[in-house]
A and B are shown apart, each in its own frame.
Chain A
């Protein structure tokens, strides 16, 4: 795996099973705000924050990969995280996240992990 990355995640399945995870104890907006702050500090986005087709007001879990080391503001990353935050806030304002039962909650964790795995497989191929 590319060793110059950090996974920002609020998914317990990812936090428990992967190295180099920055665990976020909060909802998707908290997580996306953390990612935005990191981008402002000079980290690059390596995955799209809206990966997958699950809506921000549907799945409680999100894992985003960013560069481990800050290297100056990347404007493309900034534009993407700002756009993603805007979409997430809009959807959550219109309809808040429902309370899911345990089975469905577990399924969301698995889907988020699957999206992350597909990203990590690709990131291992290039830097």
Chain B
């Protein structure tokens, strides 16, 4: 399967009378977009604001972040199962409005998390301080239940990103990158001397604000399956979760997963990248055992020499991570794990809720318990209320001047376990 990604460099975002890209500036017709998003009868009001890197703006609580993309050539469209029909995606050509993001903010539950500071010390911890953001805030109609509210916000973000992405359809990209993975036997035959690597892509799947979707299906309802790496670049995986903001994959993270892009970069040079095993992180131990058994079976079945396994979230997925690791290792296949840590404020405590001596190659994305002081911002987009009660916060964390002292787990993407952040630990 072969996909061309045409990256259109966006250097600024402004409101305009027409939604279009001109000279690296994205113009958004605010009224037209609000009218489109207001069609959802679950939403009482929709407002849109812009947030640029370096501005004194705090966005919270962030629900999802989505990169605007558009299908230019080939089957299907973006976000199959939600926005587009259920065609197979991941081939042809897709354009990306690089440097911009749709950010949705909305308060589904009272303790909801997710902070993006566009400047100051917090900006170092989130990649979305460095994108030109179209921020959409939506209020639900009165009495809307949490599940319906979450679904409405999720759909709102995808719809907005699709509408904006269309502006890139007829724009000549600044660069075109080609990603291709051949069917299994052809792939292995083409690179017979390179180590064969599989990526095990673990997805959070546990309930309200803890769910992920693959071609529209809630992944807690599926068994592990195979995916070409390029499918994710067209939005085959959608985020429905935002609890524990630091280590939840937004839809933007899935579209830009560094694990996949880096493996593709090394494909044919250092390794032979066979593809992805998509799996879940369910609540029951039976599901965890079944899924990890199938992960190990699929990795072995593909003939892999090694596997990269990434986790999503905190606590119980540590059990899934270790089960996947141990079962794959016991088949004689080496693993490298990607996770984050909850090692206490001093970083000295046990990092994960589970461990095994076979988990001997681990990449960390940072310690979520690290405490940070976020100075007040001149402008807030979203809802101030969750500030003093956010995860990682503590009594008195929100000061009258608007400053917040929190653990970095409150910051969107701070310890992202796909590695889309700056933190890690190295041994010397």
Contact = CB atoms under 8 A, between A and B. Distances in A.
Interface of A: 45-55, 58, 65, 76-77, 79-80, 83-84, 86-87, 90-91, 94-95, 98, 100-101, 103-104, 107-108, 110-111, 114-119, 122-123, 126
Interface in B37-92: none
B286 A126 contact: yes
Contact of B394 (A65, A84, A98, A110): A98
A114 B207 contact: yes
Given A45-B285, A90-B350, A50 B111 contact: no
A118 B283 contact: yes
Given A48-B288, A53-B247, A118-B207, 7 more contacts: A53-B248, A65-B284, A90-B344, A91-B342, A114-B208, A122-B282, A122-B286
Going nearest first, the 7 A-B pairs with the smallest beta carbon separation are: A50-B315, A53-B244, A114-B207, A48-B316, A104-B110, A114-B208, A107-B109
Contacts of A126: 286
B207 A123 contact: no
A53 B208 contact: no
B419 interface: no
A115 to B, nearest CB: 4
A72 to B, nearest CB: 16
Nearest to A59: B111
A115 B287 CA distance: 14
A50 B210 CA distance: 13
A120 to B, nearest CB: 9
A123 B288 CA distance: 12
B350 to A, nearest CB: 7
Interface of B: 109-111, 146-147, 204-210, 220, 241, 243-244, 247-248, 282-288, 313-316, 319, 342, 344-345, 349-350, 353-354, 369, 389, 391, 394-395
Nearest to A54: B243
Contacts of B220: 118, 122
Contact of A51 (B146, B247, B316, B349): B316
12 contacts: A48-B288, A48-B316, A49-B316, A50-B314, A53-B204, A83-B353, A87-B315, A98-B394, A98-B395, A118-B283, A122-B283, A122-B284
Given A80-B354, A90-B349, A111-B109, A52 B285 contact: no
Contact of A48 (B109, B147, B319): B319
B285 A111 contact: no
Nearest to A45: B285
B206 A52 contact: yes
A55 B353 CA distance: 12
Nearest to B386: A104
A104 B389 contact: yes
Contacts of A100: 110-111, 389
A46 B284 CA distance: 6
Contacts of B243: 52-54, 111
Given A58-B391, A108-B111, A117 B354 contact: no
